[in-house]
Chains A and B, each alone.
Chain A
Amino acid sequence: MTPELKGFLLVSVVKMLVVFTITMLGVAYMTFMERKVSAWMQNRLGPNRVGPGGWFQPVADGIKNLLKEETLPRSASLGLFFLAPCMSFIPALCVGAVIPWAAPLPIRFDFTLPVLGRFVHSGLVPMAVADVSVGFLFVLAISSLGVYGIALAGWSSNSKYALLGGLRAAAQMISYEVAMGMSLVPIILLTGNVSFSSIIGAQQDGLWYALPLMVSAFVFLVAGFAETNRAPFDLPEAESELVAGYHTEYSAFKFSMFFIAEYANVLTFSAMFATLFLGGWDVPFTHWDETPGLLQTVATGVVMALKCTALIFFVMWIRWTLPRFRYDQLMALGWKFMLPLALVNIMGVAIASWVAREVLHLGSPLAQALLLTALSAAVTALLFVVVDRGLLIGGVGSLDFMASRRARPARPVPISREAA
C-alpha cells in the first residue's frame, strides 16, 4: 500500500467512526427528544427521573432492551425472523455515509508508525464518509431497501398483524418512493448534477432550493414522512388496528433495531431535506464558509446540526398533531395527488428555467432562482386553495364522495309490488 492510500484509509475510518457514533447518539437522543416534545405538547413533563433532567433516559432504555427476554414465535420462520431487523437496520445506517455533514476540511499529515508504516494525506477531506458522485440516487436506492426488512419481518413472524403491517409498509413505501424520486428531478434540472457537493454549491450561488422548488420540497417532505413510516403515515405500525404492526412479534434488542432504524431514517431524511432544500451545511447570508478551514468546518457542522434538529422537531411536531391517515386516503394522496403534482412540477420547472435562461437571458443563478421563487410561490398559493377545499384528494369529504352520498335516496323507497 502506498502511504497516500494508507492516509486515505485512516481518514475514512476516522470519519466512519465519527458518523456512526453521531448517528447512534443522535438516534438515542431523538427518542429522548420525542418523549420530551410529546410531553410538552400534552402539558406533561416527560421523562425526568434518570439523571439530571432525565438526560440519561436513553441509556436506561438501551440497557433495558439489552437485558429483556428474547421471545421467538413458535411458528416463525427463524432465519428470516433474525434477518429482518438487520435488513432494516443496516440500510438506515448506510445512508448517513454519503451525506456531507460539514464543509470540507483541509487536512495535511505525514507521519510514520512503527508497524504500519508511513501515512500521507494532503488536501480537502469532504465531511461525508464517502463523497459518492451518484449523490442522492444512492440515498434513494439504499433507503428503499429498508422496506425489505419490514416486509420480511411481517412475513416471518407468522402473525396476521405483522403480515398486514409488512404489506402496508411495502405498498406505502413503494408508492411514495415514486413521488419522492420525481420530486427530486427538478433539482437535477437546476443543478445539472446529482452529487451532494454540487447541489450545495448551486444553492450557495442561488437561493436555497426550498424557495425556488417549493412544490418539490413539499412533495419530498410528505413522501419522506411516508418513507420513514412516521405519523400521519405510520400505517405499518398502526397500534389501533395492528397491535404494533410489523414488529408485533419482536422483543428485546431485535425490536430496538427496528426502533433505531426508524429514528435513523428520520435523521437521514432530515439531513437529506436539509442538504437538498435548505442549503446543506451552508451558513445563510454569508460566503465566509466557502473557503476551507477548521473553523468553517466546525461552524458549518453546527449549522447542519441545527437544521437537522429543526427538521426532526418538525417531524415530531407533525406526529403529535395529526391523526393517522386511513389506508385508502394514503394511497389516494400518493398516487392521485403527489405523483401527478411531482410530474407537473418537473415540466413547470423545466419550462420556467428554460424561459429564464434562453428567453429572458437571466445570467446569474440568483436571478433565475428569484424568478422560480416567484412562480412557485404563486403555484403553492394556488395549490393551498385547491387542496384546502378538498378538490383534489379523494376520500370522505371530497366532492365525488359527497355527490354519491347525495344521490342516494334519503328514505327507503317503499316496495311497490307489495303495495300493489
Chain B
Amino acid sequence: MAIGVKVMRRPERENSYLRAALKGMALTFRHMFREPWTMEYPEERSHDDARGTWAIAPRWRGTHRMLTDEQGRAKCVACGLCPQICPANCIKLVPGEDEEGNRYPLIYEIDEFRCVFCGYCQEVCPEEAIHVGVHYENAEFSRDRFVYDLERLCSQTHAVSTLWDPTDAAGE
C-alpha cells in the first residue's frame, strides 16, 4: 500500500442486523425534529444565520454587464481585446470612431448561450468596461433574448465579479 489506503476492519462475528437497524431508525426519528435546511428560494435569496451562510460568492462569474461613465456612455473603447481573447468566440464587436477620434463600439453583442463564463473579457479589458456579473437569474421566453446588445449590457445593475487575484490567492 504505497498510498495511504485505510483498510476498514469490518466486524465479523458481531455484525448486528437488528441493532444497526434500530440505531438507524432512532437516527431518522431524531432528524424529524431538526430544523430543515431548505432555503425557500424565490422568497429567500440568501441567508446568514445559525445554519450557516448561504450567499452567492463575490467571485461568481455570471451574465455580463458593461460599466458606463458619467455621461452614461459605455466605457468600452472598442480596442478588440475581449473578442480576441474570448475562447468561446461569443463577443461581436464592430468599432466606430467619432469626429474627435474617440473609438467606441458601434455594435457590441455577447451571445450568452455561447459564453463559457471564463471571465477573460473582464480580465483583459484595459478600461474596466466589460464585467462578468454576480447574477444567476437569466430566464427568458425566447432564445434570441440571450444575445445581449450594448444597451442591455449597460442597463444591467447587478454586482460585478471580483475575479481571482493572483497576488491575493486566498481572497483576503
What is the interface of chain A, defined by CB distance below 8 A to chain B?
37, 39-45, 317-318, 320-322, 384, 387-390, 393, 397, 399, 402
Contacts of A390 in B (CB 8 A): 13, 15-17
* A-B contact list, 7 entries, CB within 8 Å: A41-B32, A43-B37, A387-B17, A388-B19, A393-B17, A397-B12, A402-B12
For window 19-73 of B, CB contacts with A under 8 Å fall at 19, 21, 24-25, 27-29, 31-32, 34-38, 40
For residue B18, CB closer than 8 A to chain A, the reply is: yes
Contact assessment for A45 and B24 in the assembled complex, using a CB-CB cutoff below 8 Å: no
**6 extra interchain contacts, Cβ-Cβ under 8 A, other than A388-B16, A390-B17?**
A43-B31, A317-B28, A320-B28, A321-B25, A389-B15, A399-B13
Q: How far is it, in angstroms, between the C-alpha of A317 and the C-alpha of B17 when the chains are bound?
A: 17
Contacts of A45 in B (CB 8 A): 36, 38, 40
Contacts of B25 in A (CB 8 A): 317-318, 321
Most buried by A among B10, B31, B40: B31
For residue B172, CB closer than 8 A to chain A, the reply is: no
Contacting B28 at CB < 8 Å: which of A44, A321, A393, A402? A321
Contact assessment for B28 and A388 in the assembled complex, using a CB-CB cutoff below 8 Å: no
Shortest Cβ distance from B18 into A: residue: A388
For residue B168, CB closer than 8 A to chain A, the reply is: no
**Chain A nearest Cβ from B16, distance in angstroms:** 5
Q: How far is it, in angstroms, between the C-alpha of A39 and the C-alpha of B13 when the chains are bound?
A: 35
Contacts of B13 in A (CB 8 A): 389-390, 399, 402
Shortest Cβ distance from A38 into B: residue: B28
Contact assessment for B29 and A317 in the assembled complex, using a CB-CB cutoff below 8 Å: yes
**Chain B nearest Cβ from A59, distance in angstroms:** 22
**Chain A nearest Cβ from B114, distance in angstroms:** 33
Shortest Cβ distance from A389 into B: residue: B14
Q: How far is it, in angstroms, between the C-alpha of A267 and the C-alpha of B32 when the chains are bound?
A: 22
Contacting A41 at CB < 8 Å: which of B12, B15, B31? B31
Q: How far is it, in angstroms, between the C-alpha of A402 and the C-alpha of B21 when the chains are bound?
A: 21
Shortest Cβ distance from B33 into A: residue: A40
Q: How far is it, in angstroms, between the C-alpha of A389 and the C-alpha of B12 when the chains are bound?
A: 9
Contacting B18 at CB < 8 Å: which of A42, A318, A384? A384
Q: How far is it, in angstroms, between the C-alpha of A388 and the C-alpha of B17 when the chains are bound?
A: 5
**Chain B nearest Cβ from A154, distance in angstroms:** 29
Contacts of B32 in A (CB 8 A): 37, 40-41
**Chain A nearest Cβ from B2, distance in angstroms:** 18
**Chain B nearest Cβ from A391, distance in angstroms:** 9
**Chain A nearest Cβ from B125, distance in angstroms:** 43
**Chain A nearest Cβ from B91, distance in angstroms:** 40
Contacts of B21 in A (CB 8 A): 321-322
